[in-house]
Structure 1
Amino acid sequence: MKKAVNASGRMTILGVSTLSNQVVEAMSYGGKHYFEMADLYEQSGKMIAGYCRTEDAMITNSASAAITLAIAGLITKENRYAVEHLHKVASERKSEVILMKGHNVDYGAPIETMISLAGAEVKEVGYANGCRASLIEQAITERTVAVLFVQSHHCVQKNMPTISEVQQVCIQNQIPFLVDAAAEDGIDQFADRCDLVVFSGSKAIEGPSCGILAGKEPFLSYAKQHRSFIGRAMKVGKETVFGLLAALEAYGTNTMSIEIQRDVLQELHSFDSLPGVSVQFIDDPSGRPITRLRLFINPTKAKLSALELVDALKTGPIPIYTRDYHANEGHIDLDPRPLLHGDTDIIRDRINTLLGE
């Protein structure tokens, strides 16, 4: 296996995050002992809820699983037969999830797939370039089971209603409001903004691969019922539970400040002197406390276009992954947060080799 350099972000294709010694030790402890799993899930859920400032919480094996279990619970509620026969009865129950078109994203898998796994159907509202809260309200019918809001850089950012505006629509129409905030910081900032919220345990929290579903009752209880049914395919091991709790205990203590991020990126600012290349610090478009270094590549003056550079970096002796969502527009970004000791030297040497005179 080749080492890869991650200058892209907390990306699933690269293993998301590196684990601290504290998290690894906690996972080792969990893996070496036996526990009554039902009690471990319940007690850990209470602890996670404390960190999220919510009424309750549960750990899942991914943020995607948390979306599926949340919606499955909203469809079946306390109907035990429906829980056991979810896909046989879902179409006979409230099972439409309203989702803005600009939020119907593929984050490595289509979010629509996670909704469908719960037995629900997506009802799109709005347009590719925007939406209004009134369009969401107009789409609500007796079949509506939830409104899903995706808080992510993957989504359309302009001309979109805020979380607060969508929440008000849900409150006025008594519709459960689910927020997918998988990669967001500030996990304690969503309790008053929605009924249910989803986080990744391995992105901003920097724990093992897992997810969190947190929020209000009775919605959490509805979701928990599915652990022994559709959730069986999404179960979480005891070592993961202990690893996540350790990560939550340390959450926020090792966060890289904007100043430190800039200091790390300053080591790569010399790319500005390469032919056809200019650089600029860019803040995260969705408002997260992240700054990145953007490399603008002029294909008429540089040795490679941005797309060619991305491919050359990935296929080199040490694969280097950049944030390449806009490479077709002529620029790529370097994210400082996942860089390990020595990574900036590898990036600098490789790009200088590829683009230098």
Structure 2
Amino acid sequence: MGIYQSYGLRQVINASGKMTALGASAVHPAVAQAMGEAAMDYAEIAELLKAAGKKIADVTGAEDGCPTSGAAAGIAIAVAAVIAGRNLRLIEQLPDSEGLRNEIVIQKGHAVHFGASVRQMIALGGGKVVEAGHANHVEEAHLREAIGERTGALLYVKSHHAVQKGMQPLETMIALGREYGLPVIVDAAAEEDLRLYIAKGADAVIYSGGKAIGGPTSGFVCGKAELMEACRAQYKGIGRAMKVGKEAIVGLLAALERYELASKDAGEQLQLVERLVAAINELPGLHAAVVQDEAGRAIYRAQVKVDERTAGMTAHELIRLLEAGDPAIFTRNHYANTGVIAFDPRPLRPGQEAIIAARLREIWSNRK
């Protein structure tokens, strides 16, 4: 019996992805061991934050880093840092930022909901959101016209949630940041390349520790040294409500150490997906194919189109049947309204793809 089953919860097979709603990542035993050791000992947190910043800098190529409780907290803390800096009076005043350079310019197609609102995370840090352009079309002129005397930073969101066409590239944002003397913040929460955006010239980049990195629920900001010092200073202000514990910091560092050594070859995952696609295509009314992640990452999933007439059910009905079982099987459902679901191989534990295929066959055999 698993730990969650001992509390009366059903077993979960996560074929959705490294999703916060399902606990993000199942950590490697070495990460769990590091967290356990950290939980049974003490450290001066201010020193631990600085030491973690150095490790984050080594991994990302940034000047420094700051651990956070998650990527969402990273947005709030990074915004607070550009508004208040290390001024304690201003830090304690936030999120009240009246009269300060508090406007955060973001492309309209990047003002997304990721489980919460990007706009709300900015507001928690004292930022006032200024959206540039339209949801599917932003020109450089839109960004220029959004910049004013109260602008504190430019925020770029790199995410599958964001609009993938019609937006200005990060390079435009960075060029504008340099021209106007404004920091550029990149929300790269689930991205796999930990060095790319720093190398491109971003001043601060936010990552989730529990997504691609495979660590515990955590996150970090990396970037310019002065800005990272300001990020850590926010733990005397709004950061206090979103502080990250010693166990999560150590788990994050252990995951980063493993991440540096991990192979980025997607071959094994691709083979798993191909086996699952073959099994699904044996079922009438389901049409499966291997597709790459919509944001361009080296992630391959089994995408399934549900033919309602032949299958005798809609995609939403199939989702409910999969989630109602024990184990409960959770799929990736961003396009369920179009009859499409997907299975993500990354969170699957050995042999779980066979359980998914068997459950689908059971559902099909019980159709009326």
The TM tier, using the shorter chain, reads over 0.9
What do residues 22-63 of structure 1 show as CA deviations (whole Å, max 9, x unaligned)?
101111221121112211111111111111110110101111
Matched to 1:334, the amino acid is F
Corresponding residue of 1:150: 157
**More divergent stretch after superposition (224-233 vs 7-16):** 224-233
Aligned partner of 1:311 among 320, 324, 338: 320
* Alignment of structure 1 residues 77-226 onto 2, 5 Å: 77-88=85-96, 90-193=97-200, 194-226=202-234
Corresponding residue of 2:353: 344
Q: Give the secondary structure class of the aligned counterpart of 1:340.
A: coil
Corresponding residue of 2:6: none
Matched to 1:345, the amino acid is A
* Alignment of structure 1 residues 317-332 onto 2, 5 Å: 317-332=326-341
Unpaired runs of 5+ residues, structure 1, are none
Q: Give the secondary structure class of the aligned counterpart of 2:98.
A: helix
Cα deviation, residue 256, structure 1: 6.1
> Does the 8 Å CA contact 1:4/1:321 hold for their aligned counterparts?
yes
Q: Give the secondary structure class of the aligned counterpart of 2:341.
A: strand
Matched to 2:68, the amino acid is T
Corresponding residue of 2:75: 67
Q: Give the secondary structure class of the aligned counterpart of 2:162.
A: coil
Corresponding residue of 1:20: 28
Cα deviation, residue 243, structure 1: 1.0
TM-score, length basis structure 1: 0.96
> Does the 8 Å CA contact 2:105/2:130 hold for their aligned counterparts?
yes
- C-alpha separation between the residues in 1 aligned to 2:293 and 2:257? 26
Aligned partner of 2:42 among 34, 44, 59: 34
- C-alpha separation between the residues in 1 aligned to 2:90 and 2:23? 36
Aligned length in residues: 356
Cα deviation, residue 208, structure 1: 1.0
Q: What's the C-alpha RMSD, in Å, of the aligned pairs?
A: 1.4
> Does the 8 Å CA contact 2:11/2:326 hold for their aligned counterparts?
no
Matched to 1:125, the amino acid is A
> Does the 8 Å CA contact 2:290/2:302 hold for their aligned counterparts?
yes
**More divergent stretch after superposition (344-353 vs 60-69):** 344-353
What do residues 259-302 of structure 1 show as CA deviations (whole Å, max 9, x unaligned)?
21121122222211221221111011111000111111111111
**Would you identify which runs of 4 or more consecutive aligned residues in structure 1 move more than 4 Å?**
none
> Does the 8 Å CA contact 1:103/1:156 hold for their aligned counterparts?
yes
% identical equivalent positions: 37
TM-score, length basis structure 2: 0.93
> Does the 8 Å CA contact 2:59/2:260 hold for their aligned counterparts?
no
Cα deviation, residue 312, structure 1: 1.4
Corresponding residue of 2:5: none
- C-alpha separation between the residues in 2 aligned to 1:144 and 1:289? 35
Closer, same or farther in 2 for the Cα pair 1:257/1:103, shift >3 Å?
same
> Does the 8 Å CA contact 1:303/1:354 hold for their aligned counterparts?
no
Matched to 2:56, the amino acid is I
- C-alpha separation between the residues in 1 aligned to 2:337 and 2:244? 39
Corresponding residue of 1:296: 305
> Does the 8 Å CA contact 2:335/2:341 hold for their aligned counterparts?
yes
Cα deviation, residue 255, structure 1: 4.5
Cα deviation, residue 217, structure 1: 2.9
Q: Say whether residues 1:257 and 2:265 are aligned partners.
A: yes
- C-alpha separation between the residues in 2 aligned to 1:242 and 1:168? 36
Cα deviation, residue 252, structure 1: 4.6
- C-alpha separation between the residues in 2 aligned to 1:323 and 1:157? 18
Cα deviation, residue 242, structure 1: 1.4
Closer, same or farther in 2 for the Cα pair 1:255/1:311, shift >3 Å?
farther
Cα deviation, residue 158, structure 1: 1.0
